Amino acid sequence: MGSLRVVSAFYIKLKAFSRIFTAVLLTLGLLILRGSAAEAYGLQPTNYRKNESTNNQIEQKRRIVYFQTLPLAVVSESQPDCNIDTCIALTFDDGPNLVTTPQILNILDKYNTPATFFVVGNRVAQNSSLLVRMQLSGDEVENHSWSHPDFTKLNNAQIKDEINKTQAAVIAAGLPAPKYFRPPYEAINANVLKSVNMPFILWNIDPQDWKLKDPGSLVQTIASQVKPGSIIILHDIKQNTISALPKVIEILKTKYKLVTVKQLLNLPEGSSGEFSKKP
Ligand code: ZN
């Protein structure tokens, strides 16, 4: 009988505990519904691609997605560690463009996917709000020269001018100075390498979106060639790229963590040389 009492006392305690536990869960659930989840967890919503978009519909949708997925996001979508996770990087060249770049950003927002933008400096000033949006969304903005020339045809002073003017334009837009350089046309020689004091970021997947007529073949090329550590080059000024991008991200996300170039390579300060994938 004694042992039965102990068992039944334990059972009553267990029931009381489970009631308290349920109450705590319900309270947490209510807090989440009220949008106070970040405070409840003591966390900032780091996976929320914040931006300055004035498009209320997009803003509202994004909030709904955020609050619906927050508990999962907190558990499973912490910052990727590319020493452990299988990472790849999506990169976009030749923007920013007033019409096409916001469409790319909307898709990245929808899939909560960061990317790296190699911007042409002389297109920055008139599109500085797009750079701010990239920065706030967790994207990376890097240097793709001032006017997109073939650097092997420039003298040292011209090379420095192309780099420095773009650095200044990005800083003037309110962003940190770019850390990486992508040479237009992949045009590099010993003199160019010596004259630009930044890591050269190339790529190992090039679906040639600038000349493709069919978004389907763009998806196919990327899906068949991608490998762990890949850097994929696309252009945020091409309509085909916009059409293909949702499918591309959906396919890549089944196997890989999509990260920025900085997250992928994690290069020490002062690094130099050419990088076409994670070493
Ligand atoms: Zn380019």
Q: Using one digit for the tens of pLDDT, what is the confidence trace for 7-30?
A: 444 444 544 455 545 455 544 444
Contact between 82 and 264 under an 8 Å Cβ cutoff? The reply is yes
- Our answer to whether residue 148 is catalytic in this structure is no
CA 148–ligand 1 middle distance (angstroms): 6
Return d(Cα 256, Cα 229) in angstroms, integer: 9
Quote the radius of gyration of the chain (alpha carbons, Å): 24
- Cis amide prior to 228 (ω within 30 degrees): no
pLDDT at 279: 87
**Amino acid 213: pLDDT:** 83
Q: State the Cα–Cα distance between residues 277 and 202, nearest whole angstrom.
A: 8
- CA dist., res. 107 & res. 270, Å (int): 33
Find the 185 Cα to ligand 1 centroid distance in Å: 6
Ligand 1 center from residue 184 Cα (angstroms): 5
Helices (H) and strands (E) in the chain, counts: 10, 7
2 vs 279, which has greater pLDDT?
279
- Residue closest to 230 by CA, chosen among 199, 198, 256, 266: 256
Query: Residues of the chain with pLDDT > 90: what percent?
Result: 70
Mapped onto helix, strand or coil, the DSSP state of residue 46 is coil
* Catalytic annotation present for 235: yes
Q: What is the mean pLDDT of residues 169-186?
A: 98
Tens of pLDDT, residues 36-55: 433 333 334 344 454 333 34
The neighbour count for residue 20, using CB atoms within 10 Å, is 10
**Distance separating alpha carbons of residues 84 and 185, to the nearest angstrom:** 33
Instruction: Summarize pLDDT for 71-114 with one digit per residue, the tens.
Output: 444 444 568 999 999 999 999 999 999 999 999 999 999 999 99
Give residue-wise pLDDT tens across range 211-227.
Answer: 988 999 999 999 999 99
Cβ neighbour number for residue 117 with a 10 Å cutoff? 26
Taking each helix axis from N to C end, the angle separating 128-137 and 100-110, rounded to the nearest 10 degrees, works out to 10
Ligand 1 centroid–CA 232 distance in Å is 13
Token representation of residue 126: 């008139």
- State the catalytic residue, choosing from 93, 94, 139, 209: 93
Q: How many angstroms separate the alpha carbon of residue 241 from the centre of ligand 1?
A: 14
Instruction: Report the range of poorest mean pLDDT among 23-32, 111-120, 164-173, 198-207.
Output: 23-32
Q: How far apart are CA 201 and CA 69, in angstroms?
A: 34
Element (H or E) spanning 232, and its range?
strand 231-235
Question: What is the SS3 assignment for 161?
Answer: helix
pLDDT digits (tens, 9 = 90+) for 234-258: 999 999 999 999 999 999 999 999 9
* Backbone φ, ψ for residue 196 (5° rounding): -105, 120
* Residue 70 confidence class, pLDDT cut points 50, 70, 90: very low
Under 8 Å between Cβ of 169 and 121: yes
